[in-house]
Chain A
Amino acid sequence: MKKSDPVNACFGQLPALLERDAALIQRGRFCDVDCLLGSTEQSYHVAIRAGRIIDMVPAPVLMRSWTFGYRATPDAWTAFWQPMPKAGWHDLLSLTKRGEATLEGDIKPFMTNLQYFKDLLALPRNTGGAA
C-alpha cells in the first residue's frame, strides 16, 4: 500500500461528508469553482457549484484546467486529520507556512470562501482521518 492510499481514501469520502453537512453547504452557497485538491502524490479535479461537490475525478485529466490548487504531502494530511492535530499541523495555512503544502493559481475563490475550504478539507478529521 502506498503512503498516499489512505489519504486518497479520505479525499474520496469528501463529497459524501459534505452532503451530510448542511451548514457547510450553506456557508459555501456562493462558491462556484473548479479547483485541484489533494496530496502531492495524487490530486483531484473538484468541481464545486453552490457549495456542493458536483464532480470529483483523479488528476490528471487531459486539458482540464483549474482555478486554484491546494496540495499537501500525504504526511501533512495524515497529521492534519488527527482528531487533535499537533501544533503546526492543524490549519491549511500552517501547512503552507511550514512548506508542507502549496497554494497555487488564482486563489481569489479560495480566499473569498476561506472558512468553507478550511472546514471542507477538515471533514475527514471527524471520521478518523487517514491513520
Chain B
Amino acid sequence: MSAYIEPMVGRYVHVDIDGTLHRIYFEEAGQGIPLVCLHTAGSDNRQWRYLLADEEFTKHFRIIAFDLPWHGKSNPPANWDGSEYRLTTKRYTQTIRAFCNALDLDKPVVMGCSIGGRIVLNLAIDHASEFRALIGLEAADFQAPWYDTAWLNRPDIHGGEVCAALVSGLVAPQSPAEARMETLWAYQQGGPGVFKGDLYFYRVDGDLRGRTKAIDTKLCPLYLLTGEYDFSCSPEDTVRTAAGITGADVTVMEQLGHFPMSEHPAQFRRYIAPVLETIKQKHIS
C-alpha cells in the first residue's frame, strides 16, 4: 500500500459522566506522557490533527483529543430529550476528569483552547494535583462579550453560516487559506445550539475572576499562550489573568488568533514546542 495514512487512530470510549453513560470519540497518537487536548466551543477534535500527526511530539507524548458530547463524533447521550444544551463549569470539569479516568491516564497534561483554556484554569484551581501540567490557549478568567449569543441559534438564520462568520474574524490574517477554511468548516458543521450552549459556560457560568489567585503553580505548572489577533480573549485578558497567578508562564503568540493549533499549525508549533520540551524535561528529571 503506497497511500499515506496519518498516524492518529480514532476510537470510542464509554464514559460515565455524573451517572449518564456517554459514548466519547477520541483520537490518539504517540507514547509517553499523556497529553489531553480540548477543542474550542462549537468545534471538535479535528482542530488538533496537526499536533496528533507531529512525530517529534508523539515520540514523547501520548496525544489524545476527544470530542465533547454534542460535538464532532460524540453524539448527545442516548437519554437526551432535546432540551436546550448548556455547558456548565461543573459538567465540563466532570467530563474531562471522567474521560481521563476512563482511559486510566496517569497525571496527564491537559491543553485546552478558548473554553478549553478557561476550564484548564478551573482544573488548576480545584484539581491541580491530578495533572502534570496545564496549558491554556486563548485563556483568561473572564473576557468582555463582543456579540449577543442569541444570534447563534434561531430558525430564521443559518446556524452554521453565522457561527463560522462570527469566528472568522478571530483567525489571524496570516493564517494559510486552507487552514482557515478547515477551522471555519468545523463551525459550519456544528449541531444547532451547541456553540451557543458552550458559550453559556464561557459567558455566564464560568466567570473565574477572583478564583484564579488560588492556583498553585508549584503543584501543577500553568502555561498560558494567546494569539495577538484574538480579540475575543485578547492578550491583555490573558496577561491580566496571569498577573494574579504566581508562577504562571505567559506567552503572546504573533501572527496567530483564537485557533492557533488549527488556523496556522506551523506558527503554533514554534510556541508550543518549547512548552512541551519543558514538560518533558521535568518528567525526565
**Are both chains from one complex?**
yes
A residues sitting closer than 8 Å to B (CB atoms) are 84-85, 87-88, 90-94, 96-98, 108, 111-112, 114-115, 118
Among B156, B169, B172, B173, point to the contact of A92 (Cβ < 8 A): B169
Chain A residues near B4 (CB, 8 Å)?
none
Chain A residues near B158: list those with CB within 8 A. Answer: 112
- Contact among A87, A96, A115 with B161 in the assembled complex (CB-CB below 8 Å): A115
Distance, CA A85 to CA B169, complexed state (A): 12
Query: Which residue from chain B places its CB closest to the CB of A91 in the assembled complex?
Result: B169
- How far, in angstroms, from A118 to B162 measured CA to CA in the complex? 12
CA of A54 to CA of B87, assembled, Å = 45
Which residues in A have their C-beta under 8 angstroms from that of B162? 111-112, 114
Residue-wise interface mask of B (103-139) relative to A, using a CB-CB cutoff of 8 A (1 in contact, 0 not): 0000000000000000000000000000000000000
Interface-centre pick from B165, B166, B170 (highest chain A CB count, 10 A): B165
B147: interface (CB < 8 Å): yes
When the two chains form their complex, are residues B229 and A118 in contact, meaning their CB atoms are under 8 A apart? no
**Cα–Cα distance between A85 and B161 once the two chains are bound (Å):** 24
Q: In the complex, are the beta carbons of B165 and A115 less than 8 A apart? A: yes
Residue numbers in A under 8 Å from B174 (CB-CB): 84
- Given A118-B165, A118-B168 in contact, is the A90-B157 Cβ separation under 8 Å? no
Closest CB in chain B relative to A118 CB, distance in Å: 7
Find B169's partner among A84, A93, A112 (CB 8 Å cutoff).
Answer: A93
**A-B contact list, 21 entries, CB within 8 Å:** A87-B231, A88-B231, A88-B234, A90-B169, A90-B172, A90-B173, A91-B168, A91-B169, A91-B231, A92-B169, A93-B169, A96-B146, A97-B146, A108-B156, A111-B151, A112-B162, A114-B161, A115-B164, A115-B165, A118-B165, A118-B168
CB distance from B187 to the nearest CB of A (A): 11
B52 to chain A, nearest CB (A): 28
Chain A residues with CB under 8 Å of B284's CB are none
Closest to A96 in B: B146
B67 located at the interface, meaning its Cβ lies under 8 Å from any Cβ of chain A in the complex: no
- A85-B173, A114-B166 given; A94·B231 CB < 8 A: yes
A114:B231 contact, CB within 8 angstroms: no
Interface centre among A87, A96, A98, A108 (most CB of B within 10 A): A87
Interface pair A112/B168, CB less than 8 Å apart = no
Q: With A91-B231, A96-B146 known to touch, is A84 a contact of B173 (CB < 8 Å)?
A: yes
Chain B residue contacts of A90, Cβ below 8 A: 169, 172-173, 229
> B144 at interface (Cβ–Cβ under 8 A)?
yes
Q: A81 CA to B173 CA in the complex, in Å?
A: 12
Q: Are B228 and A87 in contact (CB under 8 A)?
A: yes
State in angstroms the CA–CA spacing of A75 and B169 once bound together.
19
Residues of B within 8 A of A93 (CB): 146-147, 166, 169, 231
Q: Which residue of B lies closest to A85 (CB)?
A: B173
Q: What are the 6 tightest A-B residue pairs by CB atom distance, in nearest-first order?
A: A91-B169, A114-B165, A115-B165, A94-B231, A97-B146, A87-B228
| Chain A residues in 8 Å Cβ range of B234 | 88
Contacts of A97 in B (CB 8 A): 144, 146, 231
- Report the Cα distance A112→B159, complex, angstroms: 9
Residues in A with CB closer than 8 Å to B151 are 111
Residues of B within 8 A of A112 (CB): 156-158, 162
Cβ–Cβ < 8 Å partners of B147 in chain A:
93
